[in-house]
Chain A
Amino acid sequence: MTDNLLTVRNLRAGIEGKEILRGIDLTIRPGEVHAIMGPNGSGKSTLSGVLAGDPRFTVTGGEAIFHGVDLLALSPADRSHEGLFLSFQYPVEIPGVTMVNFMRAAVNAKRKYLGEAPMSAADFLKLMRQKRAIVELDNKLASRSVNEGFSGGEKKRNEIFQMAVLEPCLSILDETDSGLDIDALRIVAGGVNKLRTDKNATIVITHYQRLLDYIKPDFVHILYKGRIVYSGGPELALELEEKGYDWIKEEVDKQ
C-alpha cells in the first residue's frame, strides 16, 4: 500500500452547498494511466479541481493521500511542489504576465520549496528551449502574456509544456482533448507520452474515447452522479464509445 502514489478514500465535495462528489475511492500507483470518463455533470472536473485545491470547491469528507502526504491539507502551490499537476480544461489568460516570467516564478518557487537556489538565467532559458520542443510550442509565445491570444491548440500545448517543465509525479489532464483538432491532439498526446515514466502517473479526464487512442489507459473509471460506478480495463472505454453512457445510467439508477 505504501507505494501508492495517490489514495483517495470516500472523498466528498461540493460547490455553494451543493454536493457533487459523493464518495470517491481511487488508487493510483506509479507508472499507471487512469482514464476517468462520464457524462456531463457527473463530477469529473470537480474531482480534478478538488485534488488541485481549487478554492471554488469545499471538501466535505474523505481524504486524499499523495505519496504519504495529506494532499487536502496543502495549499494549491504546495500541492504543485509535491508533484501534482492539473492541466486545465480552460487555461486562464493572464494579461500583463509574460509566459517567461510566469514559468520563472513557478520554477523558482518549487526550487525554493525544495531548498534549492533559484535557477540561473542561462539554465532557465535552456530548460525552456528543451521543454518547448516536446510539444512544438512556438518560441514567440514565451514573450507573450500567459495564454492571451493563444489559439485553443496553443493553450493546450502550453499546458503540456508547463507539465514538462514542472516534471510532476501525478498529472491530471482535464478534458485536454476539448477544442483540439486532430493534429493538435496528436502533438499534445505525443507530449504526454514522451513524459511518461514508470515513476509518474496520469489521470486522463475525458468525454470521449478519441484521446484514449493516443494516451493508452491501464484503467478506465466511469464517474456518474459523484461516484465511480464502474471500473475496468481499456476495453471499457471502447464499450462506452459504442454504447454510450445510457446503459450505465440505467444500471445505476435502477439500484
Chain B
Amino acid sequence: MKAAQSFGQYLALWVDNEALRQGVPEPLATLNSAGAEALPALIEAYRAPKDVPRACAADELFAPDYGVNLAHHDMHASVAEAFHCGVPNLNSHLVVVANDVVHVSAPLRDEAPAGLKVYSLRSLPSEYVGRAGELLALHSADNVAVAMNSLLLGDGIYIRVEPGVTVERPVQIVNIFHSDMPMLSSRRVVVDAGEGASLRVLLCDHSQGAGVQHLNNQVVQVHAAPHASVDLYDIEESSADTHRLNQLFTHQEHDSRVVVSPTFLHGGVTANHYGLNLTGDHAEAEVTGLAICADKQQVANNVVLRHDCEHSTSRQLFKYALYDEARGSFGGKVVVEHGARFTDASQTNRNILVSEKARMDASPQLEIYCDEVKASHGATTGQLDERALFYMQARGIPADEAERMLTQAFMADVVDNIGYEVLRQRMHVLVEKRLAGASASCETCASADCSKYTRQ
C-alpha cells in the first residue's frame, strides 16, 4: 500500500503533466518512457527490504510529497556559476549539478584535454546519442528506484574517455541542493571508459541551507572497457534534511580495474547500493567506504559483487563509527558464478559503536557456485579498545581526544586507500575535523591544513 502511494504519486505527476515535458531530447525521452513503462509492475512487486533500517527503504524515502522539476527549469543557475571548489592543488575538471540541472564548467566544455568528453545528457552531440542511449538502457529499470530515476531524469552527465587516454586531473562532479521548498532531484552519471583509458571521478554531495527536505535519487554507471581504470570517490556532506538513494552499477571487461570509495561525513538518511559486475577475466574491483554517523543519521551500504569470469579479484572494506542514536547497516553479498574459477574475493566490515544507543546491522554473505575460488568475509562490531584508551590517558591525553584519535586511526586504512594524493590528505583532515565535531563543509574542506598528512 505504502509503495503504491510513495512511488505512484510521482508516476501520476509525470503522466498528468505531459504538456510540461515537451521537447525532451534523446536519449532522455526514451529513458523517461522506459521508466514509465516499467514502473507499474515494479511498484506492484515492491517489497521493503528487511535487512536495512526502515528509513533507508525506497518506499520510505519516496513517501514525502516532494516537488519535481518536470519542466526542467534552471532555477538556480547562479548557484552553479558561483560555485568554486577551494581545495588547493585539486585542479579538477568541474561539473556542477544544481538540484537536477547540469552545468559543465566552461574550461571543461571548451578546453577539455584530448580524449576526455564531458556532456550534459540534454545537450549531447549527435554522435554520442546512440552510445549514451545504449548504456542508459542497461539501467533503465533494475528496481523501482532506478525506474523512478529513469522516469524523472531531466538531465545527467555522460563522461567518455577515448581508448588509451589517461586523464590526469580528476573530473569533479559537485551536487548541490539549493531550494526553498522540498524537492526530489534525479541525477545520473554515466562513465564510459574506452580500452586502456584511465580516469578519476570525484563526486561531492552538498546541500545549501538547512531545514528544507531533499531527496537525491542518483544512479551512477561505470563501464570499463578492457584494461580501463576508473576510480570513483564519493563524498557525502549534506544537511540532516537531505535524504539520498544512490545506486552505482559497474560493468568490467577483462583486465579492467574499478575502485569505488564512498565516504559519508554528514547527512540525514542515506541508502547506497553498489552493484558491481566483473565479467571479463582478470578484472579487479575495490569498494572501500567509511561512514561517520551521529545524531539520528541512518546510513545503509549494500553491495552485490558478482564474479562471472576467471581470475578476477574483489576487495571490500567498509568501516563505520556510530555516535548518538545513529544507525548503520552493511549488506555485502559476493556471488561467484559457475565457471568463475580462480576468483579471489574478500570482504571486511568493521564497526565501532561509540554510544550505547547507536546501532549497527551487518550481513556479509557469500554465494559460491564454483570450486576453485578464494573467498573470505568478516564483520566485527565493537567498542574502542579500552586498554589503548587508558594508555593514552595515562600519558595525559584527555579521554575525548583519545577517543577521537583511536576512531581516526580505525578509519585510517580506508582513507589511505584513496589513490589520489591531494584528495587522500584532504580526506584525512576532513575525517579528523568531523570527529572533532566540526561540520565537514565545503569551506572546512578548502581551508584545511593538510601538511601533517603529507607522505614523506
Residues of A participating in the B interface, judged by any CB pair closer than 8 Å: 52-55, 75-77, 79-81, 85-86, 88, 91-97, 101-102, 105-106, 109-110, 113, 143, 145-146, 162, 166
Contacts and interface: CB of A to CB of B under 8 A. Distances in A.
A101 to B, nearest CB: 7
A110 B391 contact: no
A81 B410 contact: no
B387 interface: yes
A81 B396 contact: yes
A173 to B, nearest CB: 13
A94 B406 contact: yes
A54 B391 CA distance: 9
A244 B389 CA distance: 37
Interface in B391-409: 391-399, 401, 405-406, 408-409
Interface residues of B, number: 24
Contact of A88 (B386, B391, B397, B401): B391
A99 to B, nearest CB: 11
Given A94-B409, A96-B408, A166 B390 contact: no
Interface of B: 385-388, 390-399, 401, 405-406, 408-410, 412-413, 452, 456
A52 B401 CA distance: 18
Contacts of A110: 396
Given A77-B397, A96-B412, A55 B390 contact: yes
A88 to B, nearest CB: 7
A80 B393 contact: yes
13 contacts: A53-B390, A77-B394, A77-B397, A80-B395, A92-B391, A94-B385, A94-B406, A96-B408, A96-B412, A101-B452, A106-B392, A143-B456, A166-B395
Nearest to A101: B405
Given A95-B409, A96-B409, A105 B394 contact: no
Given A55-B386, A55-B390, A97 B395 contact: no
B387 A92 contact: yes
A97 B396 contact: no
Contacts of A80: 393-396
A72 B160 CA distance: 66
B394 A109 contact: no
A96 B452 CA distance: 14
Given A75-B399, A105-B401, A105-B405, A94 B394 contact: no
A76 B394 contact: yes
A77 B412 contact: no
Contacts of A86: 394
Contacts of A92: 385, 387-388, 390-391
B13 to A, nearest CB: 49
Contact of A109 (B388, B391, B397, B452): B397
Q: Which 6 A-B pairs have the closest CB atoms?
A: A96-B409, A80-B396, A76-B393, A92-B391, A106-B395, A96-B412
A16 to B, nearest CB: 14
Contact of A91 (B391, B393, B398, B399): B391
Contacts of A95: 409
A165 B388 CA distance: 19
Contacts of B396: 77, 80-81, 106, 109-110, 113, 166
